[in-house]
Structure 1
Amino acid sequence: MRFAPFVVGAAMLALPARAEVPNVVTDILPVQALVAKVMQGVGTPTQLLPANQSPHSYAMRPSEARALQNADLVFWIGAELSPAMEEAIESLVSEGEAVSLLHLNGTRELEFRESETFLKLSLSEGGDDHDDHGHGDGDHDDHAEEGHDEHDHEDGDHEEHGHDDHADDTHDDHAHDDAHADEGHDDHAHDSHDGHDHDGVDPHAWLDPQNAHFWLEAVAEKLAVADPENADTYRANAKSAQAELDTAIAAISKQLAPYGDHGFVVFHDAYQYFETRFGLNASGAILSGDGAAPSAARLQSVRTTLMENNISCVFTEPQFNDKVVRAISDGLSLHSEELDPLGVALEEPDYLLLIQQLANQFEACLSHS
C-alpha cells in the first residue's frame, strides 16, 4: 500500500497535458462579437478598441498594447480602419499571428466612394436614379478617378474625428456660412492620417453580414489550428452562427425592401456594404469614408443635396458630435435617426443584434421619407 501514492502520481504524469486556450485579441466590437461566438464554451477574446471611439483615429493605451504583446491570435479588420494598430501589431505581435479580416480571400471588398462625386451624382440625377452609384453590384470604381484634387484638401483632415473641435466651429446659423473647415485644420490635414486616405478599399466590411458569414468559418479554422483540442467546438459554433446569420439576412432583406428608392444622407460614409447587401441607396455623406472633418464647401453640398432632392432622412452616429447635422438641417424638415455601426448601445457584443439594430434604424428614418 505504501507504493500507491507513487503509482497514482505516475498515472497522472502519463496523462496528456491539456492545451491552453489561445489568448485571442480583437479590434472592434463587431469582430469581438463574431470571434466570441466561435469561441463560445471555450474562452473569451479580448476587445482592444472601445466602441464609443472612432477606430480611424484611436490611439491605444499601454494596457491595450500589452494585450497585443501577449496575444496568440489577433483578429482585426485592417490598417484601413485602424491605422494606429498596424504599427503596434508589427512591433508587438512577435510570437502570435495577426489576421486582417478585410484582406482574407473571400471577403467582399468595395472601393471607397469618392465623396465629392458621391454628392454630385445625387444632385445631377435628382436622387431618383441610383444605378450609376454602383450600389447594385458593389462596383464603385467609376468614382475612383474623379474629384480628388478638391477632395484631398478639403476632407483630408482626420481631426480627432469630429467630436467637440469641429462641432464648436460649426454654428447653428447655416452650414454654408460656416468657415469651420478652414479653422485649425490645414496645419495637420495630412499628418494625423499616417498615409490613410479615401482611396482604395472601404474598411467597413463587417456591415455586410455575408462577409461576417465567411469570417466565422475563417476564424474557426484559425482557432482550430492554434487549439486542435477544441477544433470541433469552434467549427460547430461557426456553423451554428452562420445559420443564424442566413435567417437574419433573409428577414432584413424583406424588412428593408420597401425603401430601396428612398434617398437619405448619412453622417459618415461607412454604410455602403450594408446598403449594397440590402438594396438601399444613399444620396450623400456629411463626412468622408474615414470620418475626416467636413469643409464649409462640403457642408453646403450636403445641404443642397437635401434641398434639391427633397431628402427628409439624415443619420447621426454616437461616435461623432451631431452639431454639424443640426447646422445643415436648419430650416429644413428632416427626420433624424442615430446609426450605430460599432454597437455602442449594445449591452454585450452581439453581431446579430448589431445588424438588426441598423436595419431598424434605417427603417425608422426612411419610413418618414
Structure 2
Amino acid sequence: MTPDQLTAPPLAAAPTGRGARTRRTPSPRLRLALAAALALAVVAGFLLADTHGYAEFVVPLRLRRLAALVVVGWAVALSTVLFQTVTGNRILTPALMGFDALYVLLQTVVVFAFSSQLLRDLDPRLQFVAETLLMLAFALTLFRWLFASGRYPLHVLILVGMVFATLFRSIASFLQRLIDPSEFQTLQNLMFASFTTVDEDLVWITAAVVAVATLVVVRRLHVFDVLALGAETATNLGVDHRRETTKVLALVAVLVSVSTALVGPITFFGLLVAHLAYQLAGTHRHAVVLPMAGLSAVVCLVGGQFVLERLLEVTTTLSVVIELVGGLTFIALLIHRARRNLA
C-alpha cells in the first residue's frame, strides 16, 4: 500500500439493494470522442460564422489562420506533456529551457544591429529556417552537453536552461533600451504570438514537421508510459531511461522550435492545456492524455479566436489573453502544490 492509502480515511460503505445507484464515470474513449466533437464544432463555427452569404470567399481566407492555430496548438500541447513526462513535474514547460527568450533575443539583435525594416523585407521562409535551426542548435547542444553525455542529471539541465533563459532575456532587455522608440514598437509586436500574418507555405511546412513528430510519438506511447514511472522503475523494466529521455527532449525541441518560429512565443499556453488534459483524460496513459491535450489546445486557440473576433468584436491579440489565463493557472498550480506539501 502507498502512504496515501495508509493515511486515507476509511471509505463509506456503498449502498446496496434495489435503490442503490452506481456512479459511472465516462470511459477515456468517450471523453476523447466528446473532446473531438467539441473541437470539430469550434472549428466549424470559426470557419462558417458570419460569412454573410460569401462562404466561398471567406472560408478559404480563414483556413490559413485555422491551420496555424491547429498546428501550433497541437505542437505546444504534445511538447509540454512530453516534457512534463520526462521531468516528472506538471508545473514545468519547455519555455523554461529558453526557447521563447532566445526567439525574442534574435529579433532584438536584428533590429538593434540593422533595423526593423530588415525584418519586414527579409524572406519569411529564410527567417523561419534560420530561427528554427538556431533554436534547435541551442537546445540539442545543451541536451548533448549536459544530459546525453551522462555527466549530469536531468535537473541540472533544467537549471542551466533557466539560467540561459534569464541571460537571453537580460541581454534582450538591455538592447531594447538602446533601440529607437519607433523601432521598439515594431519589435514589441514580435514578442507575442500572432496568427494573423502567417505565411501559408510556412504553415504547411510546420504542419508536415508536426505530423512526422506525431507519428513518432504514436509509435512510442508505451515507452512514455514507462518513463512517467521514474528513472529507477523504467530502468528496472528494461528501458534505457537516459537514452529515451534524450530522444524525447530532442522531439520537444523540434516541436517548440518550429511552432515558435512560425507564430512567436507562447509561454504558458502549454501548461494550461496540459493541465486540462490531465483533468479531462481520466487516466495517465499517454494514448489518452496526448490527444486530449491536443484537442484541448485546438478548442482553446480556435475557440478563443472565435470569441474575440465574432462575439466580443475586439482586436486584442489572442496570445495576450492566453498568457494571462496560463499565468493564473501556473500560480494556482503552485499554490495547490504548496498547500498539498504542507498538509
- Shorter-chain TM-score: which interval? under 0.3
Point out the structure with the larger strand share: 1
Point out the structure with the larger helix share: 2
Higher relative contact order (CA 8 A, sep 6+): 2
After TM superposition, the score normalised by the length of structure 2 is: 0.25
After TM superposition, the score normalised by the length of structure 1 is: 0.24
